[in-house]
Amino acid sequence: MIDLVLSVIQAIMMIALAPLFAGILNKAKARMQHRAGSSIFQPYRDVAKLMRKSENISESSSWLFRFIPYVCFGSMLLLSLMTPFFSAYVAAPYGDLISMVYIFTLYRFMMVLGGLEGGSVFGGMGGSREMMMSVLIEPSLLLSLMALAGLTGGSTMIGDIPRELIGMGAIVLTPALVLAASSFFITLLAENSRVPFDNPATHLELTMVHEGMLIEYSGRGLGLMDLSSMMRLMIFSSMFCTMFFPWGIALTASPSAVLIGLASILIKVLLVTLAIALIESYLAKYRLFRLPNLLTASFALSLLAMISLYIL
C-alpha cells in the first residue's frame, strides 16, 4: 500500500516539476549566453495557454493523429509511475527495466507516426532522422540498463536497483557502473533531442528533428506533446539520478528519509539540468552524419560496461 501511495505522489511530483526544470534549463542557458531569458515558470504558462486554445488539424490527417498525443502522454504518465524519484518505492511489480525501454519505444514510434500524418515534409524528415538515431540509441539504452541489472545481481525489478546499489557500499563504484552511467548520459541527450543531437530551440526547417515531427500539432495536442517531452526529460534525469547514483534516496517510508530523499533528488536533478545547459551552451549541434560516431561511442561504452561486468 505504501508503495502505491508513494509512487502516485512521486508521479504527481514529476509531472508538476517537469516544466519547472525545463524552465530552469532555459534560464540557465540564457544566463550563460548573457541573456536575461524568460522566467523559469514560463513552460507552465506555455502549456496552460496551449491547453486553453482550440486545435487546428490538417485535413489530410486521420483518426490516429488525434489519438497520438494521448498515447504519448499516457505512456509518459505510466513511466513516471514506474520511475523512482525521492524514494525507492515504486508500485512496479507490473513492469521492469526492459518494459521501460520498450515504453519509450512506444512513445517514439507514435511520435514518428504523428510526424508522417498530414503528409508534411518536415514531419517525414524529422521522423526519418529520429528513427536513424533511435536505431543507434535503443541498443545502448538497453545494454546500459542491463549492465545495471547485472551489477545488482540480475534482477530487472526497478525498485530493487537503488536498494541493491546502496547496499553494496563502495564496491559498487566499478568500471561497469561508470561506463554504463556515461553511456546512459549520452543516451539521455539523444533521447531528449538535446544539443549536440538536436537543437530544441531551433525552428529552422532543415535542422529540426523533434520539432519537425510536432509541426502539425496545435492547441491542446501540442500542449500534451510538449508536456510529454518535458516529462521525458524529467524521467530520464531521475532514472539517471536514482538508478546510477542512488545515494540519498529514501529506502524506508519514514518522514526523515523521505525529506532527505526529496532534497537529494532535487539537487541531483538540478545538477543534471545545469550540466545539460552547460553542454548546450558550449557545444554546437552536430552535423547529422556525425551523430552516428557519438552514438556508437555510447553503444561501445555500454557494451564495455556489460563485458567488464563479466571480466572484472
Partner 1 sequence: MYDGLYLSLMLIPAAVGMAVGIIPSGYSRRIAVFLCGVSAFFGVLAYPLYIYGGEITFTFPLFSAWGPYSILMDELSSMIISISSVVFLTVIAHMVRSPSAPADGRYSALVCALFISCILTMCADTVILLLMAWEAVTLSTFLMASGRDHTAAWKFLVIAHIGGLMVISGFLVMMHYAGGHVLSSWSDLGVTMGPLVSCGVVALLFMGFGTKLGLVPFHAWMPDLYASAPTHTSALVSTVSSNVAVLILFKGIFGYIGASDGMYILAIIMMAASSFTAVWSALESLVQTEPKRILAYSSMENMALVLLCFSLGILFSNGGSPGLITVVLIAGLFHTINHSVFKSLMILTVGSVEDCTGETAMEKMGGLAKIMPVFSVMALVAVLSMAAIPPFNGFASEWLMIQSMMGGEGIHVTEILLPLGVAVLGISGMMAAVSYARLYGFMFLGRPRSEKNVSAKVDTATFVPMSVLAILCLGMGIFYSQITERLAVGVAAATSIPSDGPFLDNLSGTLNMPLLAGILLTIVFAVYALNRIFRKKSARSPTWDCGTPLDENMQYSSVGFSQPLVRVFHPLYGDVIEALDGDSSDKRKKYSIRFAEPFVEHLYVPLGNLLMRGAKQVGRTQNGNIQTYFGYILAVLVVLLVAVRFI
Residues 281-310 close enough to bind partner 1 by CB under 8 A: 288-289, 292, 299, 303, 306-307, 310
- Of the pair 70, 247, the CB lying nearest partner 1 is at 70
Query: For residue 121, what are the CA distances in angstroms to 1, 69, 215, 291?
Result: 49, 20, 10, 22
Residue 15 is a binding residue for partner 1 (CB under 8 A):
no
**202 phi/psi in degrees, rounded to 5:** -80, 145
**22 phi/psi in degrees, rounded to 5:** -65, -40
- Smallest distance from the beta carbon of 101 to partner 1, in angstroms? 8
- What is the Cα–Cα distance from 65 to 54, expressed in whole angstroms? 15
Residues in contact with 91: Cβ distance below 8 Å, sequence separation at least 6, in sequence order: 3, 4, 7, 8, 81
- Smallest distance from the beta carbon of 203 to partner 1, in angstroms? 12
- Smallest distance from the beta carbon of 289 to partner 1, in angstroms? 6
Task: Tell me which of 116, 165, 188, 214 binds partner 1, using CB under 8 A.
Answer: 116
Binding-site residue total for partner 1 (CB under 8 A)?
Answer: 79
**Residue 227, all three cell numbers:** 508536456
Map the footprint of partner 1 across residues 164-203, applying CB under 8 A.
Answer: none
- Smallest distance from the beta carbon of 161 to partner 1, in angstroms? 12
Residue 118 is a binding residue for partner 1 (CB under 8 A):
yes
Residue 3 is a binding residue for partner 1 (CB under 8 A):
no
- What is the Cα–Cα distance from 245 to 269, expressed in whole angstroms? 11
Q: Which long-range contacts (CB under 8 A, 24 or more apart) does 58-65 make?
A: 58/117, 58/118, 58/119, 58/120, 58/216, 60/117, 60/118, 60/119, 61/117, 61/118, 61/216, 62/117, 64/113, 64/114, 64/117, 65/114, 65/117, 65/118, 65/216, 65/221
- Smallest distance from the beta carbon of 259 to partner 1, in angstroms? 29
- Of the pair 119, 167, the CB lying nearest partner 1 is at 119
- Smallest distance from the beta carbon of 310 to partner 1, in angstroms? 5
Encoded amino acid at 119, one letter: G
Stretch that binds partner 1, among 38-46, 129-137, 183-191, 254-262 (CB under 8 A): 129-137
- Of the pair 78, 186, the CB lying nearest partner 1 is at 78
**Residue 251, all three cell numbers:** 529506502
Map the footprint of partner 1 across residues 55-84, applying CB under 8 A.
Answer: 55-64, 67, 70-71, 73-75, 77-78, 81
Map the footprint of partner 1 across residues 142-161, applying CB under 8 A.
Answer: 142-143, 146, 149-150, 154-157
40 to 59: interface string for partner 1, x by CB under 8 A: ------------xxxxxxxx
Buried b (16+ CB within 10 A) or exposed e, 274-295: eebbeebeeeebeeeeebeebb
